[in-house]
Structures are given as structure tokens and as C-alpha cells.
Amino acid sequence: MAKQSPQPALIAVTGGGSGGHTSAAAGIIEALWEGGVDRQNVLWIGSVQGVESRVAAQKKIAYQAISSGKLRRYWSKDNFRDVPHIIAGIFQSMRLLRANKPGVVVSTGGYVSLPVVIAARLLGTPIVVHEQTLVPGLANRIGSRFARKVLLTFSESQAHFSGRECLVVGNPLRSELKHLPNPAEAYRRLNLDKSLPLLYVTGGAQGSNALNRVIGDALPLLLPRWQIIHQYGTLPMECDGDYLSSLARLLEVELTNRYHPIPYVESSLSDIFAAASLVISRAGAATVNEIIRLGLAAILIPYPGAADQEQLLLAQMLEKAGAAVHLDQATLTPDELVHCINLLKPTDLQIMRQNARALSLDDVEGRLAEAILNVRKH
């Protein structure tokens, strides 16, 4: 009987909590599949109730949940509650890694990744860290100390990983956005008015109260020239759905038909990006990656509470490259926003799109898969 060749070692991917970490983890897994890794040879390790668990289920990715807690760099009584969860997550991760024997653990960051990375270190499993922002978070700062390789989205991040082996590969894009439809077809499917440009507003999946309010108050000034799809979020304290609906009812009938508030965007996002002339959004890692990879003109309003001012730094980087306009939430008014939008002519928007695309690397997914598989082999 011929001797069967051994199966390639499984690859474990961990990361989640925020959209940036989750999108990167999902994108890496899809890149590995595209690179020839069998679906059953990839495992995603995340939290019990995090957004990553829902994304894994939607994409039919093998998923295991562990206990996790936030590791803070400042004094908080919540540390007494979260530290035991982190310790429990380390032991759970060790059991998972022993049972599955991965050839490499890939971390995209977020608090759920830390127990997995520590367990991998204790077991001697090779570790690869992927960083999506300019300034790494605490989990990736710690994880990079144990990593064989640190994969970067931006070369500027290398300064934060002194002494580590770094490789700039970019940030993966989720598969459903890789091939945008024709704008005319997107307009038809979205039932939009062909005579008006589309403004897409998003504060992220959870929403942004500050962004929702300024857009809501600016509607009477925006809608004579634009039609708007406004993704206002699902988090009750941020979403403002009732407030926006009440404002829409006060508009003139022809303007009301140009405003489309929705709590969450799922399958229609590729159509929206294909149709949008301008995007107004936060400056999180996932959103910025979509702007760069898809070549979208954008006005960015960074979340001021983001760790290490990572959203502000990303917004400033895109503005410096001529790919976006950055506005400060603290001083933003409806009139200022409308004035900024009105200053952007079609030629300006086209230049912004070109500059955004220029920030993206070629074959990001191929670069990622190759780097990870090289670590698994050795």
C-alpha cells in the first residue's frame, strides 16, 4: 500500500472585537483559501459574543470561542473582573491548540487574541501578527514580542515594532467587495434617482451619535443636490433611528424620497460603494482599508476616543495623500459639513479616488497567504 502524504498542519487565526480586527481575520482566512489551503485546515478562535462569531457563521468558517477580557493600560476596577477571564481564555486556548496542533497562529489583534497568542507561545507554536493601523494596539504590541513575523498594512507602522521581522503586505479586503458592479447596475438595484449623485454616510456597524446628529441637521441643505443612504447603526445609545425618522417626516415630499436611513448594511454594500460619489464615515481600520482598496472619495470624521488616536492618524494620512478630507468632530457643525461637501467638485472627487487607490498594494491577499504559509513550513 502506498504511503499517504501527511496533511498540512492547520492554521489558527485569532482576532476580533472591532470591525478592523474582524475584517482582517476574515480576509486573511479567505486569502488562505484562495492560496490553496483547504477550508477544514483553518480555524478561527474568537470570543463568545463578539462580532467575529457572527462573521464566521456567515462565511461558514470553523470557529471556536474562548473566554476573554479587556487588558487595560490604566487603573480600572474592571480589571478585577476581566483578568480571570483572560486567564481562563489562556487555558482554553491551550486545550484548543493541543487538540488541533496548528502549524502557525495568526493574530489580527483585539483583546480576544491575547490569550491565544500567550497559549501559542507557551506551546512553542509559531506566531504571525497582522497589524491594520498605523499605531498597534496593546494585544499586537505584546503579541509581536513572540512573533516570527509581523505583517504590516503601512510601512510607517514598522517604527513600533523595533527589532521584529516585519513585512509590508497590506490589509485584506472581504471577498464580497473585491468585484464591484457597474455603477448603473448598482443604481438600478438600489432604486436610486439616476439624475442625482449618491452620498453614503456610515458611522460603522454600531453607529455614531455625533455623525448621525450632524447629518440629520444638515438634511435640508444636502438633499436638494444629493440623495443619501445613511447607515445609522444598531447600538441603541448611538443609532438615533427614531430621531432621524422624525427629521425625515418634516422634509418636503420630494426630498424625503431622496433620504434612505437604514440601521445596517449587509448584501447591498458592494452596490452602495459602486454607486457612491462620496462617502462620509469614521476612520477605523476596516473603513479606511475599503476606501483605499476600492478607490473611494471620502470625508473622514475620526472617533476622538479611539485608542492612541489611531483614527485621527489614519484620517490625517489619507488627507495628506489627497485621498480624503478630514474634519474634527469637536468643532463640526452642519453648516461646516455642507460647505465642505459643496467645495468638492466632480474633478476633485475623481482625484481623491485615484489618490486613494495609489495607497494600496497589488495582490494583497497573495502576499498575505504566502507570508503565513512560509512561516508554517518552517
Over residues 62-100, the pLDDT tens digits come to 999 999 877 655 556 666 677 888 999 999 999 999 999
| Mean pLDDT (whole number) for 147-168 | 96
| Mean pLDDT (whole number) for 132-152 | 95
- Write the burial class of residue 241 (CB in 10 Å: 0-12 exposed, 13-18 middle, 19+ buried): middle
Q: How many of the other CB atoms lie within 10 Å of CB of 242?
A: 8
- What pLDDT score does 17 carry? 83
- Could you report how far apart the first and last alpha carbons of the chain are, in Å? 29
Tens digit of each residue's pLDDT (9 = 90 or more) over 221-250: 999 999 999 998 876 665 677 788 888 888
- What pLDDT score does 76 carry? 64
Percent of the chain predicted with pLDDT > 90: 77
- What pLDDT score does 3 carry? 44
Residues in the chain: 378
Tens digit of each residue's pLDDT (9 = 90 or more) over 300-357: 999 998 888 999 999 999 999 999 999 999 999 999 999 999 999 999 999 999 999 9
Describe the crossing of helices 78-100 and 113-123 by its angle, rounded to 10 degrees.
Answer: 50
| Mean pLDDT (whole number) for 108-123 | 96
Buried b (16+ CB within 10 A) or exposed e, 302-316: bbeebeebbbbbbbb
What domains can you pick out in the chain, each with its CATH number?
11-170+362-377 (3.40.50.2000), 177-358 (3.40.50.2000)
What pTM, to 2 d.p., does this model score? 0.89
Residue 279 DSSP class: E
The three-class DSSP label of residue 220 is helix
| pLDDT over 80 (residue 33) | yes
